Amino acid sequence: MADTSRLRKPVIAGNWKMYKTQREARDFFAEFQPLVAAATHCEIVVAPTFTALAASVEAAKGSAIGIAAQDVYWASEGAFTGEVSPRMLVEAGCRAVIIGHSERRQFFGETDESANRKVKAAVAAGLTPILCVGELLAEREAGDTQSVLERQFRGSLAALTTAEFSRIIMAYEPVWAIGTGRTATPEIAAEAHKFLRDLAARSFSAKDAASLRILYGGSVKPENIKGLMAQAEIDGALVGGASLDARQFAAIVNY
Ligand code: 13P
């Protein structure tokens, strides 16, 4: 369990995607909180839908569980129908926000450039961005994993100051492992994480790279979390499907 040899405090985050009503969110927290009440070895984050944010913040009050949004727009207000601003998320009680998830890139036109604007706006508002990167299966098979990660890293984090960079969390989510039951092996994930950390050292500073938390995402389950967390390069997980079930997500938190 709690392993004090780690340089970086792990983060176990759940991305609920487009699941759970407010009522379902409340039921989840009622079951989940007692199961993780003793967990001090990691930070716990849950990212519900926009409509369930306030209910989740209320339900998680008094616990160490942080609530995150799944996306944000970069302007602070304006004529942008359907969008939500960083300061609105802060007011709703969010501490963090997922940015650049592959599903946003795949289905909703997210680009490295839009992710970059969102990261900067989120940091400016005091939110912790959880920036997602990851290659498609075809890109991995073509041997392009590193060039894709480098393009996403540079594009999404362009023109960030070192101070801004020190506020972010990254998530490596190989697209071929998301919702497929096909997890990257701990070694494959660790290799990508190391590549991203080296990029961080070159682009920002060795110190910032050493403190950057990089989460792995893609079919993380109670059965494979231990092996993933045994890798020093893996600082936590961004969990989709298994975060919807209180017991399963608690088992991942208590790896
Ligand atoms: P799964 O855990 O369902 O594969 O989803 C991963 C993910 O996309 C988390 O953001």
Residues 6+ apart with CB under 8 A from 109: none
Q: Which residues line ligand 1 (CB under 6 A)?
A: 15, 101, 173, 178-179, 217-220, 238-242
Question: Cα of 79 to ligand 1 centre, how many Å?
Answer: 32
Give percent above pLDDT 70 in the chain: 98
In a domain, 253, yes or no: no
In a domain, 145, yes or no: yes
The residue count of the chain comes to 255
101 is an active site residue = yes
Question: How far is residue 219 CA from its own chain's centroid?
Answer: 14
Q: What is the mean pLDDT of residues 116-128?
A: 98
Each residue of 193-203: pLDDT tens digit? 999 999 999 99
Q: What is the CATH number of the domain that holds 216?
A: 3.20.20.70
| Overall number of domains in the chain | 1
Average pLDDT, the chain: 96
Domain of 72 in residue numbering reads as: 7-242
Q: What is the mean pLDDT of residues 140-152?
A: 97
Q: Quick check: helix, strand or coil at residue 196? A: helix
Give pLDDT, residue 4: 55
In a domain, 254, yes or no: no
Are 216 and 11 within 8 A, CB to CB? no
In the set 43, 135, 139, 173, the catalytic residue is: 173
Give pLDDT, residue 214: 98
Residue nearest to atom 5 of ligand 1 (CA): 240
Q: Quick check: helix, strand or coil at residue 168? A: coil
pLDDT for residue 56 is more than 90? yes
Each residue of 64-109: pLDDT tens digit? 999 999 999 999 999 999 999 999 999 999 999 999 999 999 999 9
Question: Cα of 155 to ligand 1 centre, how many Å?
Answer: 23
In a domain, 216, yes or no: yes
In a domain, 55, yes or no: yes
Each residue of 160-180: pLDDT tens digit? 999 999 999 999 999 999 888
Give pLDDT, residue 6: 86
CA atoms within 13 A on the CB side of 153: 27
d(CA 113, CA 126): 20
Confidence of residue 1 (pLDDT cuts 50, 70, 90): very low
Task: Write the burial class of residue 221 (CB in 10 Å: 0-12 exposed, 13-18 middle, 19+ buried).
Answer: middle
Are 241 and 218 within 8 A, CB to CB? no
Question: Cα of 173 to ligand 1 centre, how many Å?
Answer: 8
Are 162 and 207 within 8 A, CB to CB? no
Give pLDDT, residue 182: 83
Q: Which of 107, 157, 167 is nearest to 133 (CA)?
A: 157
In a domain, 251, yes or no: no
In a domain, 248, yes or no: no
pLDDT for residue 3 is more than 80? no
In a domain, 255, yes or no: no
Q: What is the mean pLDDT of residues 222-237?
A: 97
The label of the residue with tokens 């540079």 reads 154
Q: What is the mean pLDDT of residues 39-67?
A: 97
141 is an active site residue = no
Are 243 and 31 within 8 A, CB to CB? no
Residues 6+ apart with CB under 8 A from 185: none
Number of Cβ atoms within 10 Å of the Cβ of 66:
19
Over its C-alpha atoms, the chain yields an Rg (Å, rounded) of 17
Are 119 and 131 within 8 A, CB to CB? yes
